Each structure stands twice: as C-alpha cells, then as structure tokens.
Amino acid sequence: MALSMDAAKLSTIIVLNSSCAKKSFRLIGAVFIGARLDDTVRVMVTGLLLNYRDAVRSISCVHSLLGQGIQHVVVWDNSADGGTSAAAIAAVFVHDARVDLHVSVANLGFAAGVNRGLEHCHQRYPGAWVLLINNDARLLPGGLTKLVDALVANSNARIAYPDIDHAGRVLGPAYCHRLTGLLSWRARRGYFPYASGCCLLVAAERVALPLFDEDFFMYGEDWELGWRLAQLPGAMAYVHETLVEHDGSASSGLGSAFYESHMVAAHLILARKLARSWVETGVLLASRICMLVARGAIRSIRFRSLVPCKALWHGVRIASGRR
C-alpha cells in the first residue's frame, strides 16, 4: 500500500456547477457531477473506519466504499493485537494505494480512535469531507451521492446521515431523553435527536475537531454529539432512505459484559455532560441510576443472565475513571 500520494488524486472529487437551477447528480466513474443554483463547489470525500480485531468485516466495508468511487479509505486499527488484524487487512490491499492503514499501539476506544482518524484526514487531505462508517457496515450503491447531496443542499449542516438496515430492522433518527437517558425512535417532548455513529458524512470545514468527546470509550459519544448539534439549527441533515447495511454489535457483542458495563458508563457520563449546574448533575445522575437499575433487571430477565445486573457496578467504576 502506498502511503504518500497527492490528496486530490486519492479522494473522490465531487463537482457542483451552475448549469441549471434544479439540483441533480450523476456518477461518472469516480467523479460526481451535479448542479445546484448558481454556485460552484468542489468537494473531496475520504472514507474512515475503525477496525477492532475483525479484518473480514473491515475488508468488506472497505470494498463497499471503494465501489462507490471513493479513491481513498483510512483504516484506523484499534485492535492492539500485535498487528495481526492489520496484517490481514494489509495483505488484501497490499497493492492498492487507495487504502491507508494506520495501526494504534493501544485500543483508544471508538471516540478517540475516530478523532485520531479525522485528525489524520484533516492533515493529509485538508478540506476533504469524511465518510465515517462502522467496520461491520456496508455502504449501499448510490449512498455516497445522496449523503453528499444532503450536505450540499443544507449549508448549515455539519453532518449527514441515512436510514440504516440493522440486521433487517431499518432505523433512522433516534432521540434521547435529557432527564432519564431513555432512548426512542420517535420524537417526543423532552428528547433531543442524535444520529447513529454507524454512518456519518462529516463536512470537515463546518465542524471543529475533536468531533467526539473522548470521555466516552465506547457508546454514548453519538448521544453527546447529538446534544451539541441540536443546539445548532439545521446541523444534522437526514436522508430518509436506507443507504447502509449494518451487522450490529459485531466487535463488542450485544449483551456481553463489555457491552453492558460500557453502556451503563455511557449513560452516567452523559448525565454529567448534559447538566448545567451541580443541582442538575445530582438530579440527572439520580434519574439515570433508577433507569439503569430497572434496565439491568429487565435485560437480566430477557437474556436469562446476571451479566446486565453485574455490569452496573463495573459501569459505575468506568464512569468514575476506575476501570
């Protein structure tokens, strides 16, 4: 894999010109050509995904991005497995200069890993938009065009996100209740919207780095990002179409001790982030604890396992900085 090539050659180039007033796009090879009003914009798009000991899914994800015409994909390897996973990925793309593989000596977690990857994209491909996608997800044909379309059409939007097929269940915008942390797939009073970190197109020049709050190791970083963006009108552009297929919890294991404990920690950390005063901190933490105890009991019954209940204490320790 070649690691030193001109950024303009490595990133998909999206060209918008003023030939007509109605917005339209067509794909010709790796070049997107479209028209919107009377402005002209050139945008580069680079792919970014994190790998954690799952080379097979990461390879499939990279192929799905390259198949969309993306000319450069950054793979940030968070495996901390002595380079085993990275070597498997490198073996497949050894002669493909479009794949840029970086190996972290330690598992930084999702938020920090993404932030390091975005910093790399910012430094090497200044001005490029970044398509962030889970390694266990695949971008469907035409997906990139429609996400770019959404960002171009909404100059205030910082990110664009689509509907995602989670193993047969199609999900779009999600909502988090500020007081209790309860999640919903419908807009409700007291809830703020957030976009799943599974697939986001990030307009780099419109956002400040770091994108995610690194106090979150795994889970919750997209909730916190949603809270920040919700304060900015029009900051999230939603594409109401299924553009991504996602296996879901492939690397963490839904219902595992890791998943349960880090989900508990994410809720407690988020409570501190959303609080505007010490009084609110106490109220939000108290409401979260009640919700999490109930959640643990329900999930223990559902899975016929004590893991969700046992994860409560471990999650508290993670949230307080004691792993």
pTM: 0.86
| Nearest-10 crossing angle of helices 221-230, 257-274 | 30
DSSP-derived letter for residue 206 is G
- What tens digit of pLDDT does each residue of 225-239 get? 999 999 999 999 999
Closest CA to 171 of 103, 248, 234, 96: 248
CA distance 58 to 243: 18
Mean pLDDT of 71-99: 96
CA distance 219 to 319: 12
Residue 75: partners with Cβ closer than 8 Å, 6 or more residues away: 49, 50, 51, 58, 62, 89, 99, 100, 101, 102
* Torsion of the alpha carbons at 247, 251, 253 and 256, rounded to the nearest 10: -170
Closest CA to 49 of 17, 72, 32, 80: 72
CA distance 71 to 10: 5
- What tens digit of pLDDT does each residue of 276-304 get? 999 999 999 999 999 999 999 999 999 99
DSSP result, 247-316: --STTT-TTSHHHHHHHHHHHHHHHHHH-SSHHHHHHHHHHHHHHHHHHHHHHHHHHT-SHHHHHHHHHH
Mean pLDDT of 102-120: 96
- In which residue are the tokens 């919750």 written? 220
- What tens digit of pLDDT does each residue of 11-63 get? 333 343 323 333 444 433 333 433 343 355 678 899 999 999 999 999 999 99
Residue 321, pLDDT score: 86
Question: What six digits make up the tokens of 56?
Answer: 């097979």
Residues 103, 106, 110, 116, CA torsion sign: negative
CA distance 116 to 121: 9
Q: Does 205 score more than 60 pLDDT? A: yes
Residue 132, pLDDT score: 98
Ramachandran angles phi, psi of 19, nearest 5°: -75, -20
- What tens digit of pLDDT does each residue of 240-268 get? 999 999 996 655 556 799 999 999 999 99
